């Protein structure tokens, strides 16, 4: 049984105007799966639909064997899935430590070992634990957003464009942390504009185009598929 399975999903922001046009998608426990595609292909819409921010007009979404269509985001979080949006993903007026505590809002056990685990994973956050989140660099905010989601120890982490608007150096740092999170056993759906980096680190990948899953396969195979290069970058091969 797949950890998450999306079948023939149609969804959008306006009634009867679907951005997703019958998307199929799955992820297995412990996998890192990249979702790439041109701007407007429906990548972020897919993530929001999975997480209950949008309700499909057609199709099914199952998580750990349970239908989650119609559940709100809080209910989905309670079942073991967390989502890190592209923007507005930290509480800027709160400290780093307070942000982490906010991430564990449904837990009733001690937060100290959880926070220490996150600080070990993200040493820069430990150094800035009392600093306001709004004063962090872009890369540090992304790390904090991921750390806050991990405070719930989810089975699946949805990351929506984590490298957006970051410098190349910060992009590398964020991707290194994503790899470490996955290596620790977390399944990750990585919705990403940086196709080459995403596919290079992914177990499998999907290429969306005009709301449809046009290609699916191993990350390394998609990375070297000339058809994928033509669709996404306008070249004969991703390099």
Residue 236 has pLDDT above 50, yes or no: no
- Across 84-96, average pLDDT: 91
63-to-26, 139, 167, 168, 181 alpha-carbon distances in Å: 10, 30, 34, 34, 20
Q: Is pLDDT of 239 > 70?
A: no
Q: Is the pLDDT of residue 206 over 50?
A: yes
Q: How far, in Å, CA of 71 to CA of 37, rounded?
A: 27
- Percent above pLDDT 90 for the chain: 70
Q: How far apart are CA 8 and CA 99, in angstroms?
A: 36
pLDDT at residue 235, rounded to an integer: 54
Residue 238's pLDDT is 42
Task: Give the pLDDT score at 237.
Answer: 46
pLDDT of 12 over the 70 cut: yes
Q: Mind listing the domains of the chain with CATH numbers?
A: 4-232 (3.40.50.300)
Residues whose CB falls within 8 Å of the CB of residue 84, separated by 6 or more in sequence, listed in order: 142, 145, 146, 149, 157, 158, 159, 160, 162
Tell me the pLDDT band of 156, cut-offs 50, 70 and 90: very high
Confidence (pLDDT) at 173: 87
Please check whether residue 198 is in contact with residue 212, taking contact to mean a CB–CB distance below 8 angstroms: no
**Quick one: pLDDT band at residue 217, thresholds 50, 70, 90?**
very high
Specify the pTM. 0.91
pLDDT number for residue 210: 92
Place of tokens 């009867």: 16
Which pLDDT tens digit goes with each residue over 33-81? 999 998 889 999 999 999 999 999 999 999 999 999 999 999 999 999 9
- Arithmetic mean of pLDDT, 153-165: 92
CB 215, CB 206: distance < 8 Å = yes
Q: What is the mean pLDDT of the chain?
A: 91
């Amino acid at each position: 049984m797949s950890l998450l399975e999306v079948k023939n999903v149609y969804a959008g922001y306006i009634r009867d105007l679907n951005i997703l046009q019958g998307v199929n998608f799955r992820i297995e426990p412990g996998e890192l799966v990249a979702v790439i595609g041109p701007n407007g292909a429906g990548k972020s819409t897919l993530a929001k639909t999975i997480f209950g921010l949008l309700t499909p007009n057609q199709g099914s979404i199952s998580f750990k064997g349970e239908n989650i269509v119609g559940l709100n985001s809080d209910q989905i979080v309670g079942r073991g899935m967390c989502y890190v949006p592209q923007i507005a993903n930290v509480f800027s007026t709160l400290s780093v430590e307070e942000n982490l505590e906010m991430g564990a809002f449904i837990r009733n056990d001690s937060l100290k070992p959880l926070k220490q685990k996150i600080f070990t994973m993200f040493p820069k956050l430990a150094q800035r634990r009392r600093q306001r989140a709004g004063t962090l660099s872009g890369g540090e905010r992304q790390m904090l957003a991921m750390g806050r989601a991990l405070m719930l120890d989810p089975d699946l982490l949805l990351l929506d464009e984590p490298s957006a608007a970051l410098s190349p150096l910060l992009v590398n740092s964020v991707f290194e942390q994503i790899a470490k999170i996955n290596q620790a056993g977390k399944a990750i759906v990585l919705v990403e504009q940086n196709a080459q980096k995403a596919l290079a680190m992914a177990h499998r990948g999907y290429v969306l185009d005009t709301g449809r899953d046009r290609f699916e396969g191993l990350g390394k195979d998609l990375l070297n598929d000339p058809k994928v290069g033509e669709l996404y970058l306008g070249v004969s091969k991703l390099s």
